[in-house]
Amino acid sequence: MKIGELAKRSGLSAHTIRYYERIGLLPRADRDGAGHRDYGADILVWVAFLDRLKTTGMPIREMLRYAALRAEGAGTEAARRDLLDRHRAKVRAHVAELQTCLAVLDTKIAGYDSQGTIPGCDGPNERTQHDENRKPQRPRKPAGTRPARAG
């Protein structure tokens, strides 16, 4: 398939595909008689995997390390697994952090859904210190460090 079709089917731009090829994330494509890139359908599986790694926050340098190990072939399975195990641990920690954030959002939304009351508050109009409706307080300088007002 030509680069345009690969771009369409993978969701990557042709520019990104060329960049990935240049830095070594994608293997060099075969060329047709006119010199245009000609990719096999199997490249779609690899591109989809790279997209998953990118979506989960793997840095390009680690993606390149994985791609290099993959290109070396047999005998690198343990190193590839180790790299993916370490990345999975980072992803799990990030997911846990996002779940905590989601719980805070759910609590805040539930507070608005219950007619303006927030669980744990004394009254319907009381808001938490971090309520987005509260005007932020500007820190004040100590009295001796501020210039005096003109009269």
Break the chain into its structural domains and give their ranges. 1-55, 74-131
How far out from the chain centre does Cα 99 lie? 15
Q: Is the pLDDT of residue 87 over 70?
A: yes
Q: Classify 38 as helix, strand or coil.
A: strand
Top-level class of domain 1-55: mainly alpha
* Beta-strand runs (E) in 16-123: 30-31, 37-38
Cα distance between residue 46 and residue 44, in whole Å: 5
Least confident of 2-6, 26-30, 100-104: 26-30
Arithmetic mean of pLDDT, 18-31:
93
Q: Is the pLDDT of residue 121 over 70?
A: no
Whole-number pLDDT of residue 114: 78
Q: Is the pLDDT of residue 112 over 90?
A: no
